Every structure is written in C-alpha cells, then in structure tokens.
C-alpha cells in the first residue's frame, strides 16, 4: 500500500508538464502491479534481462523506458518493445539502436546522456563531444530514432547549490542544441533529469521527465 501512497504523493507535487518514470529496477512484478493499479504506465529499468522478463509477464500497455547504461550487443533484446532509451552515450550505440529499430519496423525514442556530475564514474558524452557529434552527423541517417532531448545525473551530494548548477548547465546545453540543430518545434523537447533525492530541484530547473525509484518503491535489495 505504501507504494500507492508514495506514488500519489509524488504525482501531486509534479507540475502537469512533467512526466514520471517509475523506476522499478530490482523490484518485483507485484510492486509494478501496485503502481499500475494506480494508473502509472511508464516504468524504468536498467538491466536488459530483467526488463525483458517483466515485459513478457506484465500488461502490454506499459511503456518501458531503459534508463541505465546499455551495451550495444544487448539492444536487440529490447528493440521490439522499448519505448525510450535514456542513456545513449556513444555513436556506436546510436547506430545499433537505428539498426535494430529498423529491423523491428519501429521508431525508438532516445536521449543523449550528458556527463554533468563531478564524479567520473558516470557514463555520458561531454558537452563538447555531443556538439561535435551533432556537427558531424546527419540525423537523417537515423530515421528510426527520435532524439527527444538530453538526460543527465547530478553529483551524489548534499550540496544543493552544486546539484542545481549541474541541472542548469544541462538545461543551457539543451537550449543551445535545440536552437542550433532542431528547427522543428516538436522535436528535442525533453530534459530527463531528477531522481528521488533531487527531482524537486530538477523540476525547478526545467526537467520534463523525472526518474524516481526508491521514493516510490522503497530501497532496492541488490
């Protein structure tokens, strides 16, 4: 029951333009079913095998988002059904997503992950790399990929000023890229930022998609 209460509480604090990805990684099917019964349809997972199993067992109208680091050789397992891939961090990965999406005759929504945190353990393009990539790449060569925007994870810290400045940085980069590369109003519209501990700051700084796990489902047991 706590799951439903947590979910409702969080949904009530989010502005209408912000979508909630309920991050269900490491939680059982039953936890997802509870959130589902409350109307939640977007769930986030970060392990390919776990996602494939949950997709097979759970209702087919769930929108599955892959939020973790994705290995190129595993794209094929989720390409038939995944709605959105949040952490595209290399050209090779994007090429493989294009290939597998085409094979399945679908379009897969993608975010570029940008490294904004101080820690160097997190994946993602640097801002220079992403600009270089966009300058040297014809997005028309990726007809089965829709680039939705940018995704980033802030430093794990209690320093809220630091977190805020990292989200601001991502928003500025997002606007710069949107103006320079995406003329169509309806493309490149989303910023995926904010997790349990920092989503309120992320929303204030322009997030349109928050990825929240432990505040809904409790602590993960690894």
Ligand X SMILES: *Cc1c(COP(=O)(O)O)cnc(C)c1O
Of residues 55, 65, 190, 211, which one binds ligand X by CB under 6 A? 211
Of residues 46, 98, 109, 208, which one binds ligand X by CB under 6 A? 46
**In the complex, least distance from residue 25 CB atom to ligand X, rounded to whole angstroms:** 6
214 part of the interface to ligand X, by CB under 6 A: yes
Q: Which stretch binds ligand X (CB under 6 A): 55-63, 94-102, 159-167, 209-217?
A: 209-217
Look at residues 174, 164, 74 and name the one whose alpha carbon lies nearest to residue 125.
Answer: 174
Q: How far apart are CA 118 and CA 52, in angstroms?
A: 32
196 part of the interface to ligand X, by CB under 6 A: yes
Of residues 18, 23, 70, 130, which one binds ligand X by CB under 6 A? 23
Parallel/antiparallel/unpaired status of strands 145-152 and 19-23: unpaired
Q: Which stretch binds ligand X (CB under 6 A): 96-104, 142-150, 162-170, 190-198?
A: 190-198
Look at residues 18, 15, 33, 16 and name the one whose alpha carbon lies nearest to residue 192.
Answer: 18
Q: Which stretch binds ligand X (CB under 6 A): 93-101, 142-150, 182-190, 211-219?
A: 211-219
Q: How far apart are CA 51 and CA 45, in angstroms?
A: 6
Which residue lies nearer to ligand X by CB, 74 or 99? 74
φ, ψ for residue 132, nearest 5 deg: -60, -45
Instruction: Fill in the per-residue mask, 56 to 75: x = in contact with ligand X (CB under 6 A), - = not in contact.
Output: -----------xx-------
Residue owning tokens 């050209």 = 91
Q: Which stretch binds ligand X (CB under 6 A): 6-14, 70-78, 98-106, 195-203?
A: 195-203
**In the complex, least distance from residue 204 CB atom to ligand X, rounded to whole angstroms:** 17
Of residues 195, 202, 203, 209, which one binds ligand X by CB under 6 A? 195
Q: Are 21 and 65 in contact (CB under 8 A)?
A: yes
35 part of the interface to ligand X, by CB under 6 A: no
**Helix segments in 14-90, DSSP class H:** 29-37, 48-57, 75-78
The half-sphere exposure of 61 on its side-chain side, counting CA atoms within 13 A, is 6
Q: How far apart are CA 107 and CA 64, in angstroms?
A: 14
N-to-C CA span, the chain: 22
Binding residues for ligand X, per CB under 6 A?
Answer: 23, 25, 46, 67-68, 153, 195-197, 211-215
């Amino acid at each position: 029951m706590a799951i439903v209460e947590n979910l409702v509480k969080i949904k009530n604090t989010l502005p209408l333009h912000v979508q909630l990805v309920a991050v269900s990684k490491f939680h059982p099917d039953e936890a997802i079913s509870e959130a589902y019964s409350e109307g939640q349809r977007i769930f986030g997972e970060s392990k390919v095998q776990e996602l494939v199993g949950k997709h097979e067992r759970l209702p087919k109208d769930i929108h599955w988002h892959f939020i973790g680091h994705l290995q190129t050789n595993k794209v094929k397992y989720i390409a038939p059904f995944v709605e959105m891939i949040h952490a595209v961090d290399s050209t090779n990965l994007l090429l493989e997503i294009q290939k597998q999406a085409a094979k399945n005759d679908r379009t897969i929504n993608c975010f570029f992950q940008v490294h904004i945190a101080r820690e160097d353990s997190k994946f993602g393009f640097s801002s220079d790399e992403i600009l270089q990539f966009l300058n040297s790449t014809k997005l028309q060569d990726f007809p089965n990929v829709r680039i939705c925007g940018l995704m980033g994870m802030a430093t794990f810290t209690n320093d809220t000023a630091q977190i805020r400045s990292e989200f601001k940085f991502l928003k500025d980069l997002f606007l710069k890229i949107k103006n320079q590369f995406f003329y169509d109003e309806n493309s490149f519209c989303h910023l995926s930022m904010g997790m349990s501990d920092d989503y309120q700051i992320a929303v204030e700084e322009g997030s349109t998609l928050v990825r929240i796990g432990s505040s809904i489902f409790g602590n993960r047991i690894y």
